[in-house]
Amino acid sequence: MTSLLFIILTLFTTGNDYYAAGDWDNAVQTYEQCLADTTAFLTDDSQAEVYYNLGNARFRQGELSQSILAYERCLRLQPRHKDAQYNLAFAKERIVDDIADNRTFFIASWAAAVRNKLTCRTWTILSICLFITMLTAMLLFALVKPIWLRKLSFHVAWITMLLSLITGLNAISLNSRDTKQKEAIVTQGVLNAKASPDKSGTDLFTLHEGTKVEIQEVLGEWANVRVGNNEGWVKLSHIERI
């Protein structure tokens, strides 16, 4: 284990050295090797740092879609990574597409933003802690005699039950998102979405490199994706799952 940790640290340090020297190609290669060879042994925070540095190197290479992909993966592991948030927003300013989603109610957008503030693991831990607090409050309600304490325990019980449900749903939602890998980044410079999963299908709308899409369905080498109010078929090879 000690030797493996040394290898991980060496790869990460070497990648940083390449980056500092302006050798973006070798920096990218080293960071990707670090992720490929040692992912199972890295903590979420360590993986996030590698993805963040990889995103920086990719951006320096001029690989917009790959830099956005790396920043998104960093934020999946460490949602509060301020530098990754800033760099992702900066990179997204260079995306050609600016497609609004008028079907998304503002409360749903707000709820999704709150959900994405924490990881699935953190939401799960919060849900469990709140559930235990609820059980404790219910036990107090059943055992204590003072009226004020029974009222207090009753209110604590229903509030923590509600919060436990909300945090649990957030954990389930994030787990579903990450397991099914429904979100992806367009890696093709210009991509025409088709009306059907076929090259001869009618072009519906155009996407550009770096745009995030939501995969609705996969059929062979084609994926039905939604972005904003638009939905169409694109080749799987032209997008990469986050």
List the pLDDT tens digit at each of the 242 positions of the chain: 556 666 777 888 899 999 999 999 999 999 999 888 666 677 888 899 999 999 999 999 999 999 999 999 999 999 999 999 999 999 999 887 656 555 555 677 778 888 888 999 999 999 999 999 999 999 999 998 899 999 999 999 999 999 999 999 999 999 988 888 889 999 998 899 999 998 888 999 999 999 999 999 999 999 999 998 889 999 999 999 99
pLDDT for residue 3: 60
pLDDT for residue 99: 62
Q: Please tell me the pTM assigned to this model.
A: 0.83
pLDDT for residue 51: 96
pLDDT for residue 56: 96
pLDDT for residue 39: 62
Q: Three-state secondary structure along the chain? A: CHHHHHHHHHHHHHHHHHHHCCCHHHHHHHHHHHHHHHHHHCCHHHHHHHHHHHHHHHHHHCCHHHHHHHHHHHHHHCCCCHHHHHHHHHHHCCCCCCCCCCCCCHHHHHHHHHHCCCCHHHHHHHHHHHHHHHHHHHHHHHHCCCHHHHHHHHHHHHHHHHHHHHHHHHHHHHHHHHHHCCEEEECCCEEEEECCCCCCCCEEEEEECCCEEEEEEEECCEEEEEECCEEEEEEHHHEEEC
pLDDT for residue 196: 92
